[in-house]
Amino acid sequence: MTRELTEITVVGGDETGLIARVTSLLFERGINIEGLDQAVRDGVFRMTTRVDAAEMTTSRGELRRALADLGRDLDVDIQVRFPSDRDARRVALLVTKETHVPEAMLEAEANGELAEDGEAEIPVVIGNRGDLRSLAERYDKPFYDVGDGSGNTDEGRLLDLLAEYDVDLLALARYMRILSPEVVFRYEGRIVNVHPSLLPAFPGAEAYRQAKDAGVRIAGVTSHYVTTDLDQGPVIAQRAFDVPDGATVEEIKRRGQPLEAEVLLEAVRLHLADAIAVHRGTVHVREGTDAEPDLGLPAVASEANPDEPVDGEPLTRPDPPTPGSD
């Protein structure tokens, strides 16, 4: 039986004795630490602690207050997520200029198809440019431009909005800006992105052009969790398509864009259904999940793949005809 553990995340400066202060506070309240992971990136410290709070000797409210007081004392941000905090799931849509992915996400929500059970919503659309304001308004969504006019993001404002709308998951719908550790560490394991290549091939910008320049015959798209390493987060799902001989970058893009929307929506649905988990940097489907993950090629394409020869097994050949038996 899988236990649901409470997650405590600490983000801020790398203070001496910080880990000991947090773990001591938990121990004093009868909370058992099941796992602890820490990292420092670009001067930002992150510690994620998963704890069993079933036998804790305090209330949830008092624990939150104690951790908040400790956070102020250490000048760090401490967040607590109990597994049963909320039934509803809220997805922030982060966008830039391209409409095809965010429009597909908003349409899915409007049709009750954002989650398998229909119990999920997109409460806010946030852009690092103002180009998609009209798209958000068409779906009656509040839109915030947190960019500076050149696409650079005010991440302090972004974090304020995510907290204000009590967001569970960030969906980067062709959001063309790298998130800093200040954001990633606070929402680690809760940010999904779509990248227009079959990662790990062609990370970074201009992935379709990279595919064209490399002369690949099969290209594709990938949904993945975001980490502080660009386009290297755990892969959730992928789709592939043929690249015709002599195809231009625009032709490759036209083939890939519908799949970008499909694969990001699949990743969001799987995450919201709690159907996947990351273990040692790889996404796995949870045992006993009711979801039916669509992680790669459709069945018809898989069935078309040859199944021989197989290493170590001889090919089966038809018996030669018997002379004179025509």
Residues serving a catalytic function are: 231
pLDDT tens by residue, 81-139: 887 665 568 999 999 999 999 999 999 999 999 988 778 999 999 999 999 999 999 99
pLDDT of residue 143: 98
CA-based nearest residue to 157, from 134, 118, 183: 183
Mean pLDDT for the chain? 91
Q: Is residue 26 part of a domain?
A: yes
| 129 inside domain | yes
Q: Identify whether 109 is part of a domain.
A: yes
Q: What distances in angstroms separate CA 141 from CA 86, 135, 221, one per listed residue?
A: 22, 9, 27
Domain membership of residue 22 as a residue range: 6-85
Please compute the mean of the pLDDT values over residues 6-30 and round it to a whole number. 92
List the one residue out of 185, 156, 172 whose CA is nearest residue 41: 185
Q: Is residue 81, in this structure, part of any structural domain at all?
A: yes
Whether residue 324 lies inside any domain: the answer is: no
Q: Is residue 175 part of a domain?
A: yes
Judged by average pLDDT, the poorest of 66-80, 82-96, 269-283, 306-320 is 306-320
The model's pLDDT over 237-289, given as tens digits with 9 standing for 90+, comes to 999 999 999 999 999 999 999 999 999 999 999 999 989 989 888 999 988 88
Same domain, 49 and 96: no
269 assigned to some structural domain: yes
Phi, psi of 97 (to 5 degrees): -125, -40
Q: Which of 24, 18, 22, 28 is nearest to 8 (CA)?
A: 22
**CATH number where 62 lies:** 3.30.70.260
Which is more confidently placed, 201 or 17?
Answer: 201
Claim to verify: residue 199 and residue 293 sit in the same structural domain: yes
Domain C-terminal end among 70, 85, 100? 85
Task: Give the number of domains in the chain.
Answer: 3
Which CATH number covers residue 253?
3.40.50.170
Beta strand residue intervals within 87-173, DSSP E: 89-95, 120-127, 143-145, 169-172
Omega cis (within 30) before 200: yes
Q: What is the Cα Rg of the chain in Å?
A: 24
Structure confidence at residue 323 as a pLDDT band (50, 70, 90): low
Nearest to 210 by CA among 219, 227, 166: 219
Residue 170 and residue 147: Cα distance in Å, rounded? 17
